[in-house]
Chains A and B, each alone.
Chain A
Amino acid sequence: MRKRDYFLLFIFAAVMLSMPIWGPFIDAGYPDIMQRFAVFGLIAVGFNLLFGLTGYLSFGHAAFLGIGSYTAVWCFKLFTMDVIPAIIASTIMGGLVALILGFVALRRSGIYFSILTLAFAQMMYSLAYSVLTPLTNGETGLQLALGDARVLDRALGTNPESGLPSTSFLGFGVSNQGMTGYWICAIVAIIGFYIALRITRSSFGIMLRGIKSNQTRMSYTGLAARPYLITVFVISGMYAGLAGGLLASVDPLAGAERMYWTASGEIVLMTILGGVGTMFGPILGAGIIKWLEAKLSTFNESVVEQAMAFLPDSIEHSFAVVASKFVGEGWHLSLGVIFMLIVIFLPGGVMEGLQRLVGLFGFGKTKKQGADTSTPAE
């Protein structure tokens, strides 16, 4: 790690920790959305380790997310409401399931790998939705109940006398009140970012980039690609499992819809939208998508008409009718348009756009001289 990498880490930590200050300026100052920024940023960072470094596109990462959530909720039900055992268990489960899937799916590459992971995720979804109802509570979703065992809590006497307990972190309430949940998510995301940065800059990371670049050369260079791929797939699955555990920690329920294939697709979208293979891109993409989801989906026709009030009445109405299709329940339409524009005009994602902006404002010359001595993919 060079100084510049520590600088990247510092920027990320500063942005995450100051979110309660700058969040309100983009109308995102409340814990629920800030938690989602951190958690989905984390899963995108883990996904980017696989996709950005090796080029293997997994369409099944939501399965690990869901498995992480179920594991965490079961941990709350059976043992203790403290989040530490829950997120450790969900990370391990994410990794275990990734190991099994990786062993099978990584026999193939390219589109076949993607299809195998997609099929696996859909299988997991069906299992959670119907087949394994005793474990997952089917379409209702897995929730806490009054009669849960909570062996450790009862033994320690921390189980509440009446009502449902809330999750806690060493005694601080997490799911019942304000910011504790966000701080946990932010700290875990910063640690996750640091680990991902180390992996990217390590000799292991350069091997993964070699696999993406030329797998033929790898094998004739004496390197076995498959163990490298399985290892990074497991690491990436652990990130997703951890993210699922965090989601369950701040809101202790788990549902099958978290594993649906559109959820996997969303992780892919985040990474591509932000910039594949860059350190900040996937986090930025996750933030943009989660922000749009929170904002656009709450707009309705009257909000749109207000926004267009400056137009003459005759065209205002027709404009508003068209525009209102792109908000509310139809916010995916806006996401689709933005995604297509980015992929067509900025294949490197938002990060490429930012780099071009930096170039426009005259830092270009000094940057270019520096570019020769640095690695191309940041």
Chain B
Amino acid sequence: MSAILTVSGVNKSFGGLKALNDVNLQVEEGTIHAIIGPNGAGKSTFLNALIGRLIPDSGTASFQGQSLIGQAPQAINQMGVSRVFQTPEIFGELTLLENVMIPALAHADGAFKANWWTSLRDRKAVREVAERELHDVGLKEKMNVVADNLSRGDKRRLELAMCLSQDPKLLLLDEPTAGMSRADTNEIIEVLKTIHAKGMTKVIIEHDMHVVFSLASRISCMAQGHVIDEGNPEEIRNSPKVREAYLGDEADEH
């Protein structure tokens, strides 16, 4: 096993607030790596630094030997990094099929291609990819519905299908099951497990411990912008540091 993503010494401050404080992380190829931690621990900020949404003050992040720092978002995506956002970022006015065809076309054609003569309907290979991914997340029947009309849970599934259609090497998921019913959550877990069989590496931010422990083979716990502990699920479950920072808080409340 080799590391697909290596992050070392990443810092980011917003004014006086140190959002990321010397973050170090290694993600092994083909694994599901979960990042847990209390609210405000810097998990989403960390993902933002990886996909080019913000540039860290210092530190390095390399994906398969290429640096991610300072690259444009589209360049990072073209390297094979896709992200599911906490609030679904979809094309609200377009149909589900069109929603998935756009990323699939981006994967097939690159960042820019002025192919303004070939009809979208004639891009059969791309259409098949899009339909397959919609089928995988259970939205095939709704593929001609306008995306704004979907429920929140369905929008998340749609965004997942959009990312999967690009066949990314690294998939970043920011709370993919937040606000979903237990049944929907289990369905997403199943989808994520199936695509795991294809060997796609995933980094998943999640609050739901049920999701984390049923998926992740490796877990990092963040608190106050720093990775405080890392290990396999069993180690994290028994880690006193994690208990104190995160699980412990919950225990105190009840």
Whether the pair B166, A222 counts as a contact (CB closer than 8 A) is: yes
Q: Taking the complex as formed, is B217 at the interface, i.e. its CB lies under 8 A from any CB of chain A? A: no
Q: In the assembled complex, how far is the CB of residue A219 from the closest CB belonging to chain B, in whole angstroms? A: 4
**Residue of chain B at shortest CB distance from A223:** B106
Q: 8 Å CB contacts to A: which residues of B106-162?
A: 106-107, 109-121, 123, 126, 144-146, 162
**Within 8 Å CB of B98, what residues of A?**
206, 209, 375
Whether the pair A206, B101 counts as a contact (CB closer than 8 A) is: yes
Whether the pair A212, B93 counts as a contact (CB closer than 8 A) is: yes
Query: Complex Cα distance A228/B113, Å?
Result: 8
The residue from B73, B85, B120 contacting A205, defined by CB atoms under 8 A apart: B120
Q: 8 Å CB contacts to B: which residues of A331-378?
A: 372-377
Q: In the assembled complex, how far is the CB of residue B83 from the closest CB belonging to chain A, in whole angstroms? A: 6
Q: In the assembled complex, how far is the CB of residue A264 from the closest CB belonging to chain B, in whole angstroms? A: 25
Q: In the assembled complex, how far is the CB of residue B250 from the closest CB belonging to chain A, in whole angstroms? A: 32
Q: In the assembled complex, how far is the CB of residue A52 from the closest CB belonging to chain B, in whole angstroms? A: 12
A219-B72, A221-B77 known; A373+B116 contact, CB < 8 A: no
Whether the pair B73, A207 counts as a contact (CB closer than 8 A) is: no
Q: Scoring B residues 66 to 91 as 1 if CB is less than 8 Å from chain A, else 0, what string do you get?
A: 00000011100110001101000111
Q: Taking the complex as formed, is A306 at the interface, i.e. its CB lies under 8 A from any CB of chain B? A: no
The residue from B73, B78, B103, B118 contacting A203, defined by CB atoms under 8 A apart: B118
Query: Complex Cα distance A72/B168, Å?
Result: 51
Q: Taking the complex as formed, is A177 at the interface, i.e. its CB lies under 8 A from any CB of chain B? A: no
Whether the pair A202, B146 counts as a contact (CB closer than 8 A) is: no
Q: Taking the complex as formed, is A114 at the interface, i.e. its CB lies under 8 A from any CB of chain B? A: no
**Within 8 Å CB of A216, what residues of B?**
89
Whether the pair A202, B102 counts as a contact (CB closer than 8 A) is: no
Whether the pair B72, A204 counts as a contact (CB closer than 8 A) is: no
**Within 8 Å CB of B144, what residues of A?**
372-374
Q: Taking the complex as formed, is A210 at the interface, i.e. its CB lies under 8 A from any CB of chain B? A: yes
* Cβ-Cβ contact count across A and B, 8 Å cutoff: 119
Q: Number of contacting residues on B, CB 8 A?
A: 44
Query: Complex Cα distance A280/B130, Å?
Result: 30
Main secondary structure on chain A at its contact with chain B? helix
**Within 8 Å CB of B145, what residues of A?**
372
Q: Taking the complex as formed, is A7 at the interface, i.e. its CB lies under 8 A from any CB of chain B? A: no
Whether the pair B120, A224 counts as a contact (CB closer than 8 A) is: no
Q: Taking the complex as formed, is B186 at the interface, i.e. its CB lies under 8 A from any CB of chain A? A: no
Q: Taking the complex as formed, is A107 at the interface, i.e. its CB lies under 8 A from any CB of chain B? A: no
Whether the pair B92, A219 counts as a contact (CB closer than 8 A) is: no
A224-B74, A376-B95 known; A202+B103 contact, CB < 8 A: no
Q: Taking the complex as formed, is B94 at the interface, i.e. its CB lies under 8 A from any CB of chain A? A: yes
Q: Taking the complex as formed, is B105 at the interface, i.e. its CB lies under 8 A from any CB of chain A? A: yes
Q: Taking the complex as formed, is A227 at the interface, i.e. its CB lies under 8 A from any CB of chain B? A: yes
Whether the pair B106, A221 counts as a contact (CB closer than 8 A) is: yes
**Within 8 Å CB of A220, what residues of B?**
51, 53, 73-74, 77, 82-83, 85, 89
Query: Complex Cα distance A210/B144, Å?
Result: 16
The residue from A202, A219, A221, A377 contacting B119, defined by CB atoms under 8 A apart: A202
Query: Complex Cα distance A198/B121, Å?
Result: 11
Q: In the assembled complex, how far is the CB of residue B82 from the closest CB belonging to chain A, in whole angstroms? A: 8
Q: In the assembled complex, how far is the CB of residue A101 from the closest CB belonging to chain B, in whole angstroms? A: 18
**Within 8 Å CB of B116, what residues of A?**
198-199, 202, 204-205, 231, 235
Which A positions have Cβ atoms within 8 angstroms of B? Answer: 1-2, 198-199, 201-207, 209-210, 212-214, 216-224, 227-228, 231, 235, 372-377
In the complex, 7 of the A-B residue pairs with CB atoms within 8 angstroms, ordered by the A residue number, are A198-B119, A206-B94, A217-B90, A220-B82, A221-B106, A222-B77, A223-B102
Nearest 10 A-B pairs (CB), nearest first?
Answer: A222-B77, A204-B116, A213-B91, A219-B73, A217-B89, A222-B106, A227-B112, A224-B111, A221-B103, A222-B78
Contacts beyond the supplied A1-B121, A201-B119, A231-B116: 14 A-B pairs with Cβ under 8 Å? A2-B121, A198-B116, A203-B105, A203-B115, A204-B116, A206-B94, A206-B98, A206-B102, A213-B93, A213-B94, A214-B89, A214-B91, A231-B114, A375-B95
